[in-house]
Amino acid sequence: MTEVKLPNGNRVESYRLGGPGDFSAPDVAWNRIAFAAAHVVADPFAEVDPWLEPAIDWDATMAYRHHLWRHGFAIAEAMDTAQRGMGLSWEHALDLIRRSVKEAATVEGAKVYSGVGTDHVAPSPDMTPGAIRDAYLEQLEAVEGVGGRVILMASRALAAGKRPGEDYIRVYSDVLSQAKEPVIIHWLGDMFDPALEGYWGSTDVATAMDTCLAMLRENAAKIDGIKISLLSSEAEITMRRRLPEGIRMYTGDDFNYAELIEGDEKGHSDALLGIFDAIAPAAASALKHLAAGNSERFNALLEPTVPLSRHIFKAPTRFYKTGVVFLAWLNGHQSHFTMVGGQESTRSTQHLAELFRLADKAGLLADPELAARRMNLAMQIRGVA
């Protein structure tokens, strides 16, 4: 039975699923680097207060990383997709990083880069640039100490001080000077985290971009690339064309990723995306077709995933993790829809119903019978009868 009762406005309608998508692809190596920012699976049986203490099912969490590695993705670990700063503490993030690095060593070719930030200290306008630098360095040392490669995350502590661009350049330069290997910089927009408003010293994107580019030029030898998550293809393309030689642009644009990855005659973006956690089979196939020179099939596979992604990441964007985990549950990657921090409650029943329809249209419900059973259960619990 692949029929589900779903709310549509003030009425309930029957929705019949289609079939899973055809994600077959030629056996070729990708010509883009692609990271999937991976979510964590909560432990639904832990005796904790979910808003106050995270409890993680480590076996299921690692199993999901194997799912992503099998599809060819590198893992961006302990990022905002893993609820960093929204339920996942630095202590648990470091445990997650340690486990993922160790697990990657068992898989040929598996790659993990992990988030380094300042989230173990409370952001305060009174924090000095030196104190922020030291907080970054504490996490940098810890991640490199377990064999991890680094994604240098945005700092709420820097944003809290409404600091000028010069302070950002000084803090980043000091931290990068201590990195053992080139890192990926992550510029996360305030639509993902309102506490990051005015990052790089300005609320004006062009001014902030100038400051960020100055930092990149000054530290180019220590930087593999930069991920920007501003949900603006125009801003990303503008910055991509101004990057110092040798620094990659990793798109973090979960609205416009298809066109940015495909690129144009002046260049393309690689990818570091939370949506790849949710659409891994389609994205992996599309990337193979792109590498084989079949742009038409690349776009045909990704085009129906874009409305799904835009829905999952719709404002308030910071709640997108709920949709990512919900889709993992529908597809049988975890046995429950319980999240760290109780975040399963952040999206409405109508939102989840539309997510289900869009996932089906994109062919992303691998087992329609299972997905229908679980969706009917979710709707019943939320009062849809």
- Averaged pLDDT, 128-150: 98
Average pLDDT of the segment spanning 264-269: 96
For the chain, the average pLDDT equals 97
CA dist 246 and 243 (Å) reads 8
The residue extents of the domains of the chain are 30-305
Residue 51 has what pLDDT? 87
pLDDT class of 1 with cuts at 50, 70, 90: low
Radius of gyration of the chain (CA): 20
Residue 171 has a pLDDT of 98
**Interior CA angle at 115 toward 359 and 210, to 5°?**
95
Q: How many CB atoms lie within 10 A of CB 55?
A: 16
Residue with tokens 């119903």: 353
Q: What is the pLDDT of residues 303-317, one digit of tens each?
A: 999 999 999 999 999
| Cα–Cα distance, 362 to 21 (Å, whole number) | 7
210: tokens are 């100038």
Alpha-carbon distance 255 to 312, whole Å?
Answer: 10
60-108: pLDDT as tens digits? 999 999 999 999 999 999 999 999 989 999 999 999 999 999 999 999 9
- Tell me the residue ranges of DSSP E strands in the chain: 3-8, 11-16, 34-37, 74-77, 112-116, 149-152, 183-188, 223-229, 248-251, 270-273
Interval 140-167 mean pLDDT: 96
Average pLDDT over residues 172-193: 97
Could you read off the pLDDT of 326-360 as tens digits, one per residue? Answer: 999 999 999 999 999 999 999 999 999 999 999 99
- Mean pLDDT of the 40-68 span: 95
Buried b / exposed e over 304-325, threshold 16 CB at 10 Å, is: bbbebbebbbeeebbbbbbbbb
Q: What is the mean pLDDT of residues 19-35?
A: 97
pLDDT band at 50 (very low <50, low <70, confident <90, very high): confident
- Decide if 19 contacts 363 (C-beta within 8 A): yes
At residue 271, φ and ψ (nearest 5 deg) are -140, 140
Residue 385: pLDDT over 80: no
Q: How many helices (H) and strands (E) does the chain have?
A: 15, 10
* Structural class in CATH, domain 30-305: alpha beta
b or e along 125-146 (b: 16 or more beta carbons within 10 Å of the residue's beta carbon)?
Answer: eebebeebbbbbbebbebbbee
Six-digit token string for 42: 């909560």
Query: CA 93 to CA 331: how far, in whole Å?
Result: 25
Query: If you average pLDDT over residues 363-375, what whole number do you get?
Result: 97
Q: What is the mean pLDDT of residues 38-50?
A: 94
Distance CA 270, CA 24 (A): 22
Check whether 174 has a pLDDT greater than 90: yes
pLDDT for the residue numbered 47: 93
- pLDDT tier, 40 (very low <50, low <70, confident <90, very high otherwise): very high
User: Of the candidates 333, 286, 283, which has an alpha carbon nearest to the alpha carbon of residue 308?
Assistant: 283
d(CA 40, CA 54): 10
Tens digit of each residue's pLDDT (9 = 90 or more) over 146-158: 999 999 999 999 9
